[in-house]
Each structure stands twice: as structure tokens, then as C-alpha cells.
Amino acid sequence: MGHVHKPHHVWKVPTPFASHAFHPVDGFLQSLPYHIYPFVFPLHKVVYLGLYILVNIWTISIHDGDFRVPRILRPFINGSAHHTDHHMFFDYNYGQYFTLWDRIGGSFKNPSSFEGKGPLSYVKKMEEQKWSSHVGNGCGSERGATGEAAKTE
């Protein structure tokens, strides 16, 4: 089933546009609880619409790269910083709203941005690895991520 969600993770550094870029089956499965809930716990259609709007705002906000979550809530809220690491590393921070189940299940990772690193430092590292492996394959003189010419023999 992971192959259905994988297209969403093409964006290593998520953007608001990536928040709704997913496979149709993935979108259906993600929204299923929101459609089942009103049959189990009836609620007014205006409340349902309001919840739909709030879920969409939240989904966009965790993909926007704005890491502002009040410091006191950071251990509990799975915000943009957590979700950015989820996109970069895949194996961490699966929660939609909270970090509780990630902590219980062992998939919690303290966001890189809280440790002084950000998504761009990760992307730069990936780019450097790509260039070093490219040059190491005997592809001639190439310029690395720093712009310096790499020598090959």
C-alpha cells in the first residue's frame, strides 16, 4: 500500500502545493475516517464543512515550511518541522496532528530544524553525495555542489 502514498513524497521539501498532490486512492483512504465519522456520530452539516476546511488548512500548514509552533507545544504537536523530516527520511513522524503515537511506536524523530539543521542542509548533503558518486563513476571533470571543479583520472 506504500506505493500509493509514495508519489506524495516526491517532494523532499514539502510545499503547500504538495499537500494535495497525491494518488486518488491515497486521497480517498486518507479522507475515509472523515466520511465515516458522521454516520457514527451525527453532526450538523455546517460543523462537518467547518471541520473539512480546518483539516485542509492544517494539511497545507504542515507542508508550508513555517516551523512556528509554540515551544511548549512542540513535544506534542506534529507540525511543519516534524512533517518536513517525515518527507526527507520517510521513517519518522507519521502522525497527522500529534506526536503521541509516533513516540509510542518508536517512529518519533526530533525535527532537524529544532537541532539547528533544516531541509536545505539535507538537500545540500544529498546533492553533494550525488555529485561525488557521479564524479567517482569516471564521468570526467564535473563541478560539484560548491561549484569547484572535481578532478578525475
30 pLDDT more than 90: no
Burial of 99 (0-12, 13-18, 19+ CB in 10 A): buried
Residue 119 pLDDT: 60
Beta-bridge partner residues of 149: 143
Residue 120 pLDDT: 62
Alpha-carbon Rg of the chain, whole angstroms? 20
Which among 59, 9, 15, 11 is positioned nearest to 34, based on CA atoms?
59
Q: Is the pTM of this model over 0.85?
A: no
Tens digit of each residue's pLDDT (9 = 90 or more) over 82-114: 888 888 888 889 888 999 999 999 999 888 776
Which conformational region is residue 116 in: left (phi greater than 0), alpha (psi within -120 to 50 degrees), or beta? left
